[in-house]
Amino acid sequence: MPISKWQQTFPRTEFLRRLAEVKSEMARRDLDALVVSDDDNITYLTGYTVVSGYVPQGVVVSLHDEEPTFILRKMDAPAAFHQAFMQRDKIIAYPEDLIGNPDKDGYDTVVDFLRELGVANRGIGVELGSLPPRAAEKFKARLPEARIVDCTKAVTWIRSVKSDLEIGIMREAAAISDAAILRAAEVIRPGVREADAAAEIIGTLARGANGKAGTKTQPICLCSSPRTGTCHIPWSEDVFTSGSQINLELGGTRHGYVAALMRTFSIGAPSDQVRRLHDAELAGLETALETVRPGITCGDAATAIYRAIEKHGFKKESRCGYSIGIGWLEPTASLREGDMTELKPNMTFHLMMGNWIEEDVGCAVSETIRVTTSGVEVLTNAPRKIFEL
Amino acid sequence: MPISKWQQTFPRTEFLRRLAEVKSEMARRDLDALVVSDDDNITYLTGYTVVSGYVPQGVVVSLHDEEPTFILRKMDAPAAFHQAFMQRDKIIAYPEDLIGNPDKDGYDTVVDFLRELGVANRGIGVELGSLPPRAAEKFKARLPEARIVDCTKAVTWIRSVKSDLEIGIMREAAAISDAAILRAAEVIRPGVREADAAAEIIGTLARGANGKAGTKTQPICLCSSPRTGTCHIPWSEDVFTSGSQINLELGGTRHGYVAALMRTFSIGAPSDQVRRLHDAELAGLETALETVRPGITCGDAATAIYRAIEKHGFKKESRCGYSIGIGWLEPTASLREGDMTELKPNMTFHLMMGNWIEEDVGCAVSETIRVTTSGVEVLTNAPRKIFEL
């Protein structure tokens, strides 16, 4: 039997709105078709969230078609029928014998589709930066009459400004992040193995919050003493002890959308140095919440944040945040000095004050925020403090 | 204070053995240096398992140096000091202002290092297939006197044959997979939310087995009715009901190494069709265990497996397995017809009999196996059956 459509996260009108923005950009660049291969951009344009992008797949947006066409491996086509907003005839399955095949792969099927579409001698956008070089060359070699235009990050930039519907989903993701931080505060105790605490924290990322399940579990970073000067290590096989400090970074996920959150935990009182570092981070965070608003640039915000931190006697070298949404980090705007991206309403950022000042000294506090029409809405809501346990 | 080295998973001699194989391949290709950017190959050559490859990083193997040099973001350098087997002076941190910087990035630091190494006019191997095209161009443009040789998958192929030490770690990972399947059999019940069962299953992937923690949690696929014809969907927000079928794929992880495992669960008796399909898969699996041995090709094994399945009246279109190790799938050998890779002792495969024959009909059984000197060792050990709950 044909597989049914699942309960769609977004209405069809939302996808048509997104596609209209993409098509407008395509028209501006004189492109008849756009090939989207970035996993997160595919989620944005179709609603498909399955992890299958480790083999070739692509969504083709045509100026001449209302709905995009999704070309993917036959084994994954039923999942696309189930999840994507489009009608069944917009999903093309390529045969399984193209998997692990050194001579021909799914990108050949994408090229074949472009030729059938009649755009082989027109402008075709390709996300070259999301493709291995050999695949990028295949598009050029097999479409010699086309004007291939690199559209890496074109869709990524469009999705950096969210709709209110997307913000609603990100609020649900943020509530999951809050719940996981609170769970961490319950389970981090002397004598507990880090892995057992991690199991509970990640379990919360799956169970979700307020009756809304997490739809995926993102990797967590649980950097405990003596690793508190590192920022991306997962849990170790150690046991927490009295005096342990733990810097935790995690992200709740709803239908592809992530809200990230960082907090520091201390079994017993933190050192003076860590407390002062955390105070500096809080000052940076407060400054961000006062500064961020539409019209200023990311660089303006970053400058204000860095100065606030420096007033507390610390220097932060890493950026103060980055655009966040589908799949966690969006590789577009950064809260770093010199980033000229203008802030707009409904951009969302992981406002990240984590600071690792020595190889064994660091702590972290962050929030996932939305730029409003006049300032900031903080989507995450866990107590903004060092959790002393 | 400088961060300490953690308890190393492998002795230094193991890394030197791996490097000797890589250097031998480099000499064969007349290369003075090799730039490794694939995350899993970096783990193989250094022991570093942190997820930081979403920003530029690279390991440079030089014919003139015993140890490789790891160039990565400053923020992640302490984690490399902690985890990698090399001495501290073999880890080079590039500054944070290269992150999110459109003009210059960490690959420039890698190129600078190659120039300092004095190999700018020699043969340099680069994993071009693991780089975005712009980064690949950067190596060519900034090293115009060098002979740049594409070494995509060169290290990947070398690591497809494991040492006994690596096999030992994969056995630990396999025990975690077994434990997670048994946990699934305990928690999948009518009335239970899929997300709550997923939380317990993933929790087991973190807690581990036999006192050995899972060191990372891989995404799981929990494809339940009506999604049993899909293969890569995670859990949904539904509740299991009487009559639900669940196809579960998961992978335990130890220090980067993954052992994958698939089983089908049925609340109540499965349909006759599913039972017959599962019998065909078991026949394919038994044939694989009788057939696989050094000296035959992957294609030979696949042909035997497909014929065994066909004798039971079913056709399997997807490959019967793939090389597995660090980071799950190794993109090298596949158990597919026509794959001429010769099987060698200590190659490891995810032997994957999952078959999805209609959009809403499929089931799965798999094992992670090792090729021995005379046949097969099955690393995973969960009961090889449909779990009727």
Shortest alpha-carbon distance between residue B173 and chain A (Å): 14
Q: Residues of B numbered 210-229 whose beta carbons fall under 8 angstroms of chain A's beta carbons: which are they?
A: 212-217, 219, 226-227, 229
DSSP codes of every residue in B77-88 = HHHHHHH-SS-G
* Chain B contact for A16 (CB, 8 A cutoff): no
**Model pTM?**
0.97
For chain A, what is the mean pLDDT?
97
C-alpha B200: how far from its chain's center? 23
Is B208 close to A195, i.e. CB distance below 8 A? yes
pLDDT in tens, A271-284: 999 999 999 999 99
Q: What is the pLDDT of residue A69?
A: 98
Is B360 close to A52, i.e. CB distance below 8 A? no
Residues in chain A: 389
Q: Tokens for B89, please give them.
A: 């002076």
Tell me the percentage of chain B whose pLDDT exceeds 70. Answer: 100
C-alpha B321: how far from its chain's center? 12
* Nearest partner of B31 among B114, B129, B134, judged by Cα: B114
Is A195 close to B214, i.e. CB distance below 8 A? yes
Question: Nearest 10 degrees: CA dihedral of B229, B231, B237, B238?
Answer: 30
Amino acid at B103: D
Q: What is the pLDDT of residue B120?
A: 97
Q: What is the pLDDT of residue B142?
A: 97
Q: Residues of A numbered 247-306 whose beta carbons fall under 8 angstroms of chain B's beta carbons: which are they?
A: none
Dist. CA A213–CA B18, nearest whole Å: 43
Q: Residues of B numbered 165-204 whose beta carbons fall under 8 angstroms of chain A's beta carbons: which are they?
A: 193-196, 198-200, 202-204
pLDDT confidence band for B100 (50 / 70 / 90):
confident
pLDDT confidence band for B350 (50 / 70 / 90):
very high
Q: What is the pLDDT of residue B1?
A: 85
* pLDDT reading at A156 higher than 90: yes
Assess contact for B229 and B360: CB atoms under 8 A.
Answer: yes
DSSP codes of every residue in B162-201 = PPHHHHHHHHHHHHHHHHHHHHHHHH--TT-BHHHHHHHH
Q: List domains and CATH numbers for chain A.
A: 12-158 (3.40.350.10), 164-388 (3.90.230.10)
B296 CB-contact burial (10 Å; exposed 0-12 / middle 13-18 / buried 19+): middle
* pLDDT reading at A133 higher than 90: no
Out of B230, B319, B360, closest to residue A1 by CB: B360
Q: What is the pLDDT of residue A11?
A: 98
* pLDDT reading at B138 higher than 90: yes
Is A78 close to B203, i.e. CB distance below 8 A? no
C-alpha distances in Å from residue B100, one per residue of A39, A318, B259, B261? 20, 10, 35, 38
Best residue of B232, B306, B340 to probe chain A, by most A CBs closer than 10 Å: B232
pLDDT in tens, A169-214: 999 999 999 999 999 999 999 999 999 999 999 999 999 999 999 9
SS3 A63: coil
C-alpha distances in Å from residue B10, one per residue of A60, A357, B39? 46, 30, 18
Q: What is the pLDDT of residue B344?
A: 98
* pLDDT reading at B133 higher than 90: no
Q: What is the pLDDT of residue A134?
A: 87
pLDDT in tens, A308-367: 999 999 999 999 999 999 999 999 999 999 999 999 999 999 999 999 999 999 999 999
Cβ neighbours of residue B86 under 8 Å, at least 6 residues apart? B46, B67, B68, B69, B70
* pLDDT reading at B134 higher than 90: no
The region of weakest confidence among A55-59, A99-103, B217-221 is A99-103
The region of weakest confidence among A23-32, A95-104, A239-248 is A95-104
CB pairs under 8 A between A and B: 213
* pLDDT reading at B266 higher than 90: yes
DSSP codes of every residue in B62-123 = ETT-SS-EEEEEGGGHHHHHHH-SS-GGGEEEEPGGGTT-SS--HHHHHHHHHHHTT-TTSE
Assess contact for B143 and B170: CB atoms under 8 A.
Answer: no
Cβ neighbours of residue B302 under 8 Å, at least 6 residues apart? B319, B320, B335, B336, B337, B339
Q: What is the pLDDT of residue B132?
A: 86
Q: What is the pLDDT of residue A171?
A: 98
Which residues make beta-bridge pairs with B352?
A: B366
DSSP codes of every residue in A145-204 = TSEEEE-TTHHHHHTTBPPHHHHHHHHHHHHHHHHHHHHHHHH--TT-BHHHHHHHHHHH
Q: What is the pLDDT of residue A132?
A: 86
B269 CB-contact burial (10 Å; exposed 0-12 / middle 13-18 / buried 19+): exposed
pLDDT confidence band for B188 (50 / 70 / 90):
very high
Question: Nearest 10 degrees: CA dihedral of A8, A11, A14, A16?
Answer: 100
Out of A1, A134, A207, closest to residue B196 by CB: A207
A269 CB-contact burial (10 Å; exposed 0-12 / middle 13-18 / buried 19+): exposed
Q: What is the pLDDT of residue B156?
A: 98
* pLDDT reading at A102 higher than 90: no
Q: Residues of B numbered 76-135 whose beta carbons fall under 8 angstroms of chain A's beta carbons: which are they?
A: 76, 78-79, 81-83, 95-97, 99-101, 128-134
